[in-house]
Amino acid sequence: MDLFDLLEQKEAKEEQIKESELSRGDCIRLNSYVGSRLNTDFRMKNKKTNNIQEEISTTEETTNTECNKIEKIEDVQINEITDKEKLLVIDGSSLLSTSYFARLPRQIMFAKTIEEKEQYYDKILQTKDGIYTNGVFGFMQIMISMIKYQKPTHLAVCLDSTRMTFRKLIYDDYKGTRKPIEVPLKEQYDLLRNMLEAIGVKVLISSPSKDYTNVFEADDFAGTLSKKFQTQIPVALYTKDEDYLQLVDYNTVVWMNTSKATDIAKACDINLKECNLPNNTFEYTVDLLKKVKNLKPHQIVDYKAISGDSSDNIPGIKGLGDTTSIPLLQKYNTLEDIYKDIEALDEKGLKLKATDWKNELGIRNPMKKLVEQRDNAFMSKKLATIKTDIDVDLTLDDLKINIDKDILREQLDKYEMKSIKL
């Protein structure tokens, strides 16, 4: 986008203001907003970045703290016509959950038991008929905002249907440490799906099955869509789940929703105000993933195979963390390459190899754990690997945004979300 394109955009915006009969104050505010965004585009411009002195930790703060920063959306206009095509894939389960916890009453947030929480369920945002809506409200608010400001031409939302997926066949304790989903949140999954489908947004979700074989998670659908369409259209995956980082590719970016977005960008010498991104979001490209995480996209699964993932109860190799896994992967590239180099060694050879690693990589001797927990490592890699080959009968045209504004307004009115302006 050159200077003339930007000037044309500004002139077009000014003409719209004249025709809209806005007040002088509204015109000034809108002009200010347009001016601040003139140099933005869907893809972040290439910038020279300084070497990061230390890895930026993107560990999430509490969901409530992060989401309270979500700016209020007012007078959103859905613009379905853009000059560049792009596909936005939303991790629906992540965004719904984030929105739900961000809008819980304080009594529930600080309750210590489920019984105590249940006493205050009546204070959760709901319709007059008692239908919980706090999570769906936040979801719709943010989705409409992204359609407005990031201007995707194609859209899909991926949802989890159950924790009983094909990964339970690999490891029965997968996600076994997670607490049951609270009823007010669980009930909003169906509400969200029905609302999205009513307005014409494609939703991908598995049907529950007793044998789990063909039951997939939201990230499996997102991975499948990105690999299926990235040769045809730029893809952005919006999530707060770092598993998605393995999907970063030459034409696929991950929009990571995190309270650390500003800190990460600063370390990368990037000004987020110059990037057309959702609020509290950092865009991971292949190069930026290497700078921030010191890993290539495909190494995310190898990293989890060694270090594990407590949120999903992926065991990894117990006792080995980042200080071991990252240096080893920088040297060997994959988990398979690490074991290829040590599996034929006898006890003396293993000791010599451990000494070499200490001198070259600066890591303590992890050899005993690597040898004893080999099976755990390879199982963990299977658990962490997002499927990208689900049989999805969709074309790019099926994902094109064509939201019926009248139906959207009817849905928002039906569930008493009238404060979301279109």
Q: Alpha-carbon distance 244 to 217, whole Å?
A: 12
Residue 237 has pLDDT above 60, yes or no: yes
Query: In the predicted model, is pLDDT for residue 174 greater than 70?
Result: yes
Residue 211: predicted pLDDT: 84
SS (H, E, C) the chain: CCHHHHHHHHHHHHHHHHHHCCCHHHHHHHHHHHHHCCCCCCCCCCCCCCCCCCCCCCCCCCHHHHHCCCCCCCCCCCCCCCCCCCEEEEEHHHHHHHHHHHCCCHHHHCCCCHHHHHCCHHHCCECCCCCECHHHHHHHHHHHHHHHHCCCCEEEEECCCCCCCCHHHHCCCCCCCCCCCCHHHHHHHHHHHHHHHHHCCEEECCCCCCCCCCCCCHHHHHHHHHHHHCCCCCEEEEECCHHHHHHCECCEEEEEECCCHHHHHHHCCCCHHHCCCCCCEEEECHHHHHHHHCCCCCHHHHHHHHHCECCCCECCCCCCCHHHHHHHHHHHCCHHHHHHHHCCCCHHHHHHHHHHHHHHHCCCCCHHHHHHCHHHHHHHHHHHCCCCCCCCCCCHHHHECCCCHHHHHHHHHHCCCCCCCC
Token pair listed for 3: 């200077």
pLDDT for 404 equals 87
Token couple for 72: 């209020």
Mean pLDDT for 24-34 is 39
Helical packing angle, 347-361 and 335-342, nearest 10° = 130
Alpha-carbon dihedral sign for residues 133, 136, 141, 144: negative
pLDDT per residue over 298-319, tens digit each? 999 999 999 999 999 999 999 9
Q: What is the pLDDT of residue 83?
A: 52
Residue with tokens 């929703």: 257
pLDDT at 392 over 90: yes
Q: Model pTM greater than 0.85?
A: no
**pLDDT digit string, tens, across residues 102-120:** 999 999 999 989 999 999 9
Q: What is the pLDDT of residues 184-199, one digit of tens each?
A: 999 999 999 999 999 9
Query: pLDDT of 250-277, one tens digit each?
Result: 999 999 999 999 999 999 999 998 999 9
Sorting pLDDT into bands at 50, 70 and 90, what band is 32?
very low
